[in-house]
A and B are shown apart, each in its own frame.
Chain A
Amino acid sequence: MSDRVVLTLATAPSHTLVADCIAADRFASLDARAIGQLPVVHGGRRARLGDFFTVTGQRSAALRIEGDLERVEGVGTGMAGGEMLIAGNVGPDLGLAMEGGRIDVHGSVGENAGGARPGASRGMTGGEIVIRGDAGAQVGAAARRGLIVVMGNAGPRTARAMIAGTVVVFGSTAAGAGRFLKRGSIVALGAIERPATFRYACTYQPPHVPLLLRYLRARYGLAVLDRHIAGRYERHSGDLAELGKGEILQWVAE
Chain B
Amino acid sequence: MKINGVAIDDTFAEAFTMRVARLIITGRNPKWAREAAVKLTGFATSVIGCKCEAGIERELPESATPDGRPGVSVLFLTMDKESLPQQLIVRIGQTVLTCPTTACFDGLPDVPDRLAVGKALRVFGDGFQASKVIGGKRYWRLPVMEGEFLVEETFGMQKGVGGGNFLILAGDADAALAAAEAAVLAMTNLPGVILPFPGGVVRSGSKVGSKRYRNMIATTNDAFDPTLRAITESQVPAGVNSVLEIVLDGTDAPAIEAAMRAGIRAACRPGVQGITAGNYGGKLGPHHFHLRKIMA
Contact = CB atoms under 8 A, between A and B. Distances in A.
Given A205-B147, A208-B139, A145 B133 contact: yes
B67 interface: yes
Interface stretch (A21-29, A37-45, A150-158, A210-218): A210-218
Given A204-B147, A205-B147, A206-B148, A211 B139 contact: yes
Contact of A147 (B128, B133, B149): B133
A67 to B, nearest CB: 30
A244 to B, nearest CB: 11
Contact of B135 (A126, A205, A219): A219
B135 A183 contact: no
Interface string A200-228: 00101111101110110001000000000
A219 B134 CA distance: 11
B166 to A, nearest CB: 41
Given A206-B141, A219-B135, A229-B68, A211 B130 contact: no
Given A214-B67, A214-B68, A229-B68, A208 B134 contact: yes
Contacts of A245: 128, 130
A166 B141 CA distance: 14
Contacts of A166: 132
Q: How large is the interface on B (under 10, 10 to 19, 20 to 34, 35 or more residues)?
A: 10 to 19
A147 B128 CA distance: 21
Contacts of B194: none
Contact of A208 (B68, B128, B141): B141
Contacts of A112: none
A61 B281 CA distance: 56
A185 interface: yes
A183 B141 CA distance: 13
Nearest to A207: B150
Interface string A90-127: 00000000000000000000000000000000000010
B148 A212 contact: no
Contacts of A146: 133
B66 A207 contact: no
Nearest to A230: B68
A5 to B, nearest CB: 23
A245 B131 CA distance: 12
Interface in B32-89: 66-69
B99 interface: no
B147 A211 contact: no
Interface in B272-293: none
Interface in A227-251: 229, 245
A208 B67 CA distance: 8
5 contacts: A145-B133, A205-B147, A207-B148, A208-B139, A210-B68
The 5 closest A-B pairs by CB, nearest first: A207-B150, A204-B147, A215-B135, A211-B67, A208-B132
Given A185-B132, A210-B67, A214-B66, 6 more contacts: A206-B141, A208-B139, A208-B141, A212-B132, A214-B68, A219-B135
Interface of B: 66-69, 103, 128, 130, 132-135, 139, 141, 147-150
